């Protein structure tokens, strides 16, 4: 049952002296830490019983909406179902209990998982080698652009600019800046792809590379991809593939074959590992043989007998985190690929694309569809009509969808579409669910026309109503006191 | 909406020149476009800025805009009140919502900026 | 395939509905020569039963763990996994829709509070990827805040963290100055003109730094003082905020997360009030909803990449929310008394282990400085021999240090958590004795 009263914080519960732990007595003498370094007052942590603790977090969990709760068509996030068996195998004590500095012979299974996952991802990308180190997509982007930088530096000049389409995720420009590059934004053309003329003009020998998501954030495959890669390579630049949308093409087309030099995958999108409420994910980066010498250390090599950590990469960009990556996440992605097999992965992409086109064709009657062509795994609608005619904004309609039991789509992204709604159904939803969602969207569009007030005030049936975000940002209250 | 005694920039800042100094803020149009201002990032006094150079940024909940100096000079004052009450930018953009005082390097520079009328023409053109 | 609901009949209905002949048709925009004409070269699909069998075969029961170096074998109460396994938490995305994400948002706010409490600082963010990237982001903050282009880092900071730091700072053309150690702790050195002084407490060798003195050096140089710390130790050791740290960060794996071969862990990052607007990453803040109830939202988002794009301080987009949730549950379960008890047990057992090892011929504690839960052993024997000797008793210690510090050949770390029993420590001693006698 959902609480309708105030939800207390864990700090507001319990009583001094109450506890939810039991620890053994000491079997060795107590040690004395130096007086000058000792803490004087204990940290104010909760003091609750285990039962109170469990109720509190169970209450909180009931206030959340996950993929297991309902349909989550959040564009660009690939909220596919997270199979339960992967949670079980990742928790096997012989995997989750391994220390990263174990002698290699005592961690052969773990090293094999990393090595084989590398081979699988290299095959899916159509590239040579893969680092598992990045903890997230953005982290993978950083590695990728640093690899591009290292490649150019080895040729005597890191170059100054990275080209990024105006439809890109915000992480792309932020990453390029973090890697020391100036960002040049490329406009999109009328079909939603890169404006090739603008690319031709921008591309010269000061440009280190182009970062591209393909299909892009409009859910559209760039039909000029071979022209684009030709233009960039022609001036000595490299091509970075943001794999956020890889779920649309796996098994159908490979970034390496398209001409990309660097690819990051989001294992938490394409390979079914859970998003965890915002992480942990994993962002492995695949590269051409030419870029492999610059990969972060270590890589996992196999000599035909045993697996070992290879730190011997003198031209490596270094490290972006400790140890070998989010191994627990890698295990789940590995298990996913082993469960699906080649045909299963291709089927997943095919059904993701079919489901998206199905929903798109049904919703274009109710909303503006700025790019009317077959989409890939997601598509972008515009709420312009509702805004202009009914004074109802996309945000309102998104909130109203919650009342129908659905998670809203991604809104106001990509930035190039006014009042954007980005919908990604994924392959793990049934036709019945899609039909119900289409029905709910149609109902909301009708309400926007006939009863705009109902939509303005939404959501009405969720445990909480709309938030005063201005207050939160003006007077930041970031901790309980 | 757009006082006659101010000068304006195409980036939606205003300046009110008093002697050798100018008070700078953002226009009614800018505050309205931003929505609820939640934070104003201002420079430290003593900073030397060029005309057109970013001297700070203004944030709303879901956006951020750079603030560009209308003129060149030295920042001699900042509106400390905005740290606790950023809403002043929305409520009183030409008064209590002012941002910085600049000692003008070239006292005549502000004359080259837009008049209230010219600025409004610019807004109409969109 | 049990995860894909579409049947062939569903597909045909949907295709007919949208006027497409086949699924392949929907891929017509991919130029034919870029389409894969063969199946991906991957192993055949496994059933769930086969998968469990395969993964179980890959799993390898680990030895008794005396390994340290930034990842530790602490006990995790059952309640932690029970709660983080609730799929309303783990199958949710980032809480961008606060009306239906109060579970995650409230937990983040509680996490931020706990980190601020532990570190003695004013505010913390919703978490980073790991301790190493948290330290690197802290250094980047200092560079942006001060406008200086040198950063001083103690050599006693985890070598992998320093490598990450170098990777993050190189494109900014920031010079990294290494501060040498003496007797296991950082020696006083000139840090003039640096944006920040970075130390670790307890440091990579397990030793306790003279953080008060180092804070003074940083302050005198006008540099920010950044401390990477072990959160378990903060139950008993002075919090960074109390000795002048401007930023505290570290690895939170010790707070209820399995070692998992090094990840996922949890980076935490806490700052003084004056630096809050410079924090990278997500933050949850309190507000009210339109029904007047206290609630939480992601706030101050205009700092972040999705709004500020190339002008953002960092490209970080996600956090390790589920790991932060685990830490929040773990800290709630332990409370102040439990965490202090864990810390005291670690310190006591480490002290006992150090004394035990010191009594074995050819092995001695390398440094005299006080330590918390791990310490460096100097051995007269080749590492291979020591490692094999430990393996024979189903024990592992380390890492061996010459891989990071060439001058420390024959040295290795021994970490002792509350999980290690006196009997296990005695077995470690026995194993080392055997190494010494054969």
As a whole number, mean pLDDT of residues C34-45 equals 97
Is residue C116 within 8 angstroms of chain A, CB to CB?
yes
- Tell whether A45 and A100 lie within a shared domain: no
Q: B53-85: per-residue pLDDT in tens? A: 999 999 998 889 999 999 999 999 999 999 999
Which residue do the tokens 């002697």 mark?
Answer: B19
Q: What is the DSSP letter of A38?
A: B
Q: Minimal Cα–Cα distance from B97 to chain C, Å?
A: 20
Whole-number Cα distances in Å, C179 to A258, A336, C176, C197? 47, 46, 10, 9
Assess whether the previous peptide bond of A248 is cis (omega < 30° from 0): no
Residue A117 lies in a domain: yes
What is the reported pTM?
0.97
Instruction: Tell me the two tokens of residue A187.
Output: 């406009």
Percent of chain A surpassing pLDDT 70? 99
pLDDT at A3 over 60: no
Rounded CA separation A226/A222 (Å): 9
Instruction: Tell me the two tokens of residue C25.
Output: 């048709």
Min mean pLDDT across A301-315, C295-309, C421-435 is at C295-309
Final residue before a domain boundary, out of A314, A339, A364:
A339
- Tell whether A112 and A204 lie within a shared domain: yes
Rounded CA separation A320/C129 (Å): 10
Residue A16 lies in a domain: yes
In the stretch 349-368 of chain C, residues with CB closer than 8 A to chain A read: 349-352
Buried b or exposed e, range C65-103, using 16+ CB within 10 angstroms: bbbbbbbbbbebbebbeebbebbbbbbbbbbbbbbbbbb
- Tell whether A225 and A373 lie within a shared domain: no
Residue pair A342/A417 in contact (Cβ under 8 Å)? The answer is no
The ipTM assigned to this model is: 0.98
> Among all residues of chain B, which has the CA nearest to that of C303?
B64
Residue A26 confidence (pLDDT): 84
Number of domains, chain A: 3
Closest by Cβ to C308, choosing from B39, B61, B64: B64
Residue A392 lies in a domain: yes
- Tell whether A154 and A207 lie within a shared domain: yes
Instruction: Tell me the two tokens of residue B106.
Output: 């070239």
Report the neighbours of C using a cutoff of 3 or more CB pairs below 8 angstroms: A, B
Residue A461 lies in a domain: no
- Tell whether A52 and A112 lie within a shared domain: no
- Tell whether A428 and A318 lie within a shared domain: no
Q: C356-405: per-residue pLDDT in tens? A: 999 899 999 999 999 999 999 999 999 999 999 999 999 999 999 999 99
Do the strands C395-398 and C64-67 form a parallel or antiparallel pair, or are they unpaired? parallel
Is residue A8 within 8 angstroms of chain C, CB to CB?
no
Q: Which of C425, C438, C418 is closest to C359 using CA atoms? A: C425
Is residue A467 within 8 angstroms of chain B, CB to CB?
no
- Tell whether A358 and A328 lie within a shared domain: no
Q: Minimal Cα–Cα distance from C146 to chain B, Å?
A: 12
Q: C235-287: per-residue pLDDT in tens? A: 999 999 999 999 999 999 999 999 999 999 999 999 999 999 999 999 999 99
Q: Chain B residues with CB inside 8 Å of C302's CB?
A: 38-39, 59-64
For residue A44, the enclosing domain spans: 10-62
Level-2 CATH architecture, domain B19-107: Beta Barrel (2.40)
Q: Chain C residues with CB inside 8 Å of A98's CB?
A: 60, 62, 259-261
Q: Which of C276, C302, C304 to mutate to test the interface with B (most CBs of B within 10 A)?
A: C302
- Tell whether A255 and A402 lie within a shared domain: no
Is residue A30 within 8 angstroms of chain B, CB to CB?
no
Residue A277 lies in a domain: yes
Q: C277-290: per-residue pLDDT in tens? A: 999 999 999 999 99
Residue A4 confidence (pLDDT): 60
Q: Minimal Cα–Cα distance from A169 to chain B, Å?
A: 15
Q: Chain B residues with CB inside 8 Å of C309's CB?
A: none
As a whole number, mean pLDDT of residues A315-322 equals 97
At residue C294, the 3 state secondary structure works out as strand
**All domains in chain C, ordered by first residue:** 64-72+335-437 (3.90.1150.10), 78-330 (3.40.640.10)
Q: A216-242: per-residue pLDDT in tens? A: 999 999 999 999 999 999 999 999 999
- Tell whether A284 and A432 lie within a shared domain: no
Q: Where does the pLDDT of residue C302 fall: very low under 50, low under 70, confident under 90, or very high at 90 and above?
A: confident
- Tell whether A321 and A372 lie within a shared domain: no
Chain pair A-C, CB pairs under 8 angstroms: 678
The CATH number assigned to the domain holding A213 equals 3.40.640.10
- Tell whether A363 and A333 lie within a shared domain: no
In the stretch 285-304 of chain C, residues with CB closer than 8 A to chain B read: 300-302
Final residue before a domain boundary, out of A306, A339, A372:
A339
- Tell whether A243 and A131 lie within a shared domain: yes
Residue A354 lies in a domain: yes
Rounded CA separation B59/A474 (Å): 10
Q: A57-99: per-residue pLDDT in tens? A: 999 999 999 999 999 999 999 999 999 999 999 999 999 999 9
Domain ranges of chain B: 19-107
């Amino acid at each position: 049952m959902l609480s309708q009263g105030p939800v207390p914080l864990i700090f507001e519960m319990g009583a001094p002296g109450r506890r939810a732990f039991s620890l053994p007595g000491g079997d060795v003498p107590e040690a004395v830490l130096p007086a000058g370094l000792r803490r004087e007052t204990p940290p104010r942590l909760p003091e609750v019983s285990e039962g109170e603790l469990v109720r509190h977090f169970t209450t909180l969990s009931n206030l959340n909406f996950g993929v297991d709760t309902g349909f989550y068509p959040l564009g660009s996030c690939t909220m596919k179902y997270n199979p339960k068996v992967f949670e079980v195998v990742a928790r096997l004590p012989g995997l989750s209990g391994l220390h990263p500095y174990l002698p290699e012979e005592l961690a052969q299974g773990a090293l094999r998982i990393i090595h084989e996952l590398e081979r699988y991802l290299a095959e899916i990308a159509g590239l040579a080698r893969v680092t598992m180190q990045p903890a997230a997509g953005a982290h993978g982007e950083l590695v990728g652009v640093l690899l591009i930088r290292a490649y150019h530096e080895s040729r005597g000049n890191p170059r100054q600019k990275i080209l990024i389409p105006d439809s890109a995720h915000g992480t792309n420009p932020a990453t390029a800046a973090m890697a020391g590059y100036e960002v040049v934004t490329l406009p999109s053309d009328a079909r939603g792809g890169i404006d090739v003329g603008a690319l031709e003009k921008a591309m010269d020998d000061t440009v280190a590379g182009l970062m591209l998501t393909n299909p892009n954030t409009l859910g559209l495959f760039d039909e000029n991809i071979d022209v684009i890669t030709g233009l960039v390579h022609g001036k000595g630049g490299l091509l970075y593939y943001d794999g956020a949308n890889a779920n649309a093409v796996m098994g159908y087309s490979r970034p390496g074959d398209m001409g990309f030099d660097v690819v990051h995958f989001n294992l938490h999108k394409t390979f079914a590992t859970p998003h965890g409420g915002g992480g942990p994910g994993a962002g492995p980066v695949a590269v051409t043989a030419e870029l492999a010498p610059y990969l972060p250390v270590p890589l996992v090599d196999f000599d035909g007998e045993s697996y070992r950590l290879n730190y011997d990469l003198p031209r490596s960009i270094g490290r972006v985190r400790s140890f070998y990556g989010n191994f627990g996440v890698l295990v789940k992605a590995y298990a996913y690929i082993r469960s699906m097999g080649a045909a299963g992965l291709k089927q997943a992409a095919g059904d993701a694309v079919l489901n998206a086109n199905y929903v798109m064709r049904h919703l274009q009657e109710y909303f503006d569809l700025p790019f009317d062509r077959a989409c890939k795994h997601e598509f972008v609608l515009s709420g312009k009509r509702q805004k202009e005619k009914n004074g109802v904004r996309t945000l309102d309609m998104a909130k109203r969808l919650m009342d129908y039991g659905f998670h809203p789509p991604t809104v106001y992204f990509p930035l190039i579409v006014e009042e954007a709604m980005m919908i990604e159904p994924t392959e793990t939803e049934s036709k019945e669910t899609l039909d119900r969602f289409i029905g709910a969207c149609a109902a909301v569009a009708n309400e926007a026309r006939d009863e705009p007030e109902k939509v303005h005030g939404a959501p009405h049936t969720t445990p909480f109503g709309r938030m005063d975000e201005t207050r939160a940002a003006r007077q930041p209250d970031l901790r309980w006191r | 909406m757009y006082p006659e005694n101010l000068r304006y920039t195409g980036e939606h800042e205003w300046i009110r020149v008093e002697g050798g100094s100018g008070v700078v803020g953002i226009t009614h149009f800018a505050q309205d476009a931003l929505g609820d201002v939640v934070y104003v990032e201002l420079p430290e006094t003593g900073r030397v800025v060029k005309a057109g150079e970013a001297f700070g940024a203004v944030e709303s909940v879901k956006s951020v805009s750079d603030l560009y100096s209308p003129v060149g000079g030295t920042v001699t004052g900042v509106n400390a009140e905005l740290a606790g009450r950023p809403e002043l930018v929305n409520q009183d953009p030409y008064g209590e919502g002012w941002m910085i005082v600049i000692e003008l390097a070239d006292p005549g520079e502000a004359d080259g900026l837009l008049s209230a009328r010219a600025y409004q023409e610019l807004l109409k053109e969109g | 395939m049990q995860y894909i609901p579409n049947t062939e009949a569903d597909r045909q209905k949907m295709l007919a509905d949208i006027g497409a002949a086949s699924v392949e048709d929907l891929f017509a925009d991919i130029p034919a020569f870029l389409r894969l004409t063969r199946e991906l070269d991957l192993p055949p699909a496994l059933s769930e039963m086969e998968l469990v069998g395969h993964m179980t075969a890959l799993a390898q029961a680990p030895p008794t763990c005396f390994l340290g170096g930034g990842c530790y074998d602490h006990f995790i109460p059952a309640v932690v996994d029970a709660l983080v396994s609730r799929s309303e938490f783990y199958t949710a995305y980032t809480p961008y829709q606060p009306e239906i994400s109060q579970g995650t948002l409230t937990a983040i706010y509680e996490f931020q509070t706990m980190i601020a409490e532990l570190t003695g600082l004013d505010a913390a963010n919703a978490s980073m990827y790991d301790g190493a990237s948290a330290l690197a982001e802290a250094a980047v903050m200092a560079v942006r805040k001060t406008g200086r282009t040198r950063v001083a880092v103690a050599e006693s900071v985890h070598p992998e963290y320093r490598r990450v730091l170098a990777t993050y700072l190189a494109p900014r053309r920031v010079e990294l100055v290494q501060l040498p150690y003496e007797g296991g702790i950082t020696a006083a050195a000139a840090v003039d003109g640096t944006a920040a002084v970075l130390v670790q407490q307890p440091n990579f060798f397990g030793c306790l730094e003279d953080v008060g003195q180092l804070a003074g050096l940083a302050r005198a140089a006008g540099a920010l003082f950044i401390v990477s710390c072990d959160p378990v130790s903060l139950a008993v050791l002075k919090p960074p905020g109390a000795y002048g740290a401007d930023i505290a960060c570290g690895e939170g794996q010790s707070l209820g997360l399995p070692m998992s071969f090094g990840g996922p862990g949890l980076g935490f990052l806490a700052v003084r009030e004056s630096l809050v607007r410079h924090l990278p990453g997500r933050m949850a803040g309190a507000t009210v909803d339109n029904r007047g109830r206290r609630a939480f939202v992601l706030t101050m988002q205009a700092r972040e990449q999705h709004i500020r794009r190339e002008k953002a301080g960092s490209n970080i987009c996600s956090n390790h929310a589920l790991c932060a949730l685990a830490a929040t549950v773990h800290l709630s379960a332990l409370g102040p008394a439990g965490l202090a008890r864990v810390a005291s047990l670690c310190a006591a057992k480490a002290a006992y282990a150090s004394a035990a090892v010191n009594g074995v011929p050819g092995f001695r504690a390398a440094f005299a400085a006080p330590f918390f839960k791990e310490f460096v052993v100097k051995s007269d024997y080749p590492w291979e021999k020591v490692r094999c000797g430990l393996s024979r008793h189903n024990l592992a210690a380390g890492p061996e240090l010459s891989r990071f510090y060439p001058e420390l050949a024959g040295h290795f770390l021994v970490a002792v958590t509350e999980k290690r029993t006196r009997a296990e420590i005695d077995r470690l001693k026995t194993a080392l004795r055997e190494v010494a006698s054969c």
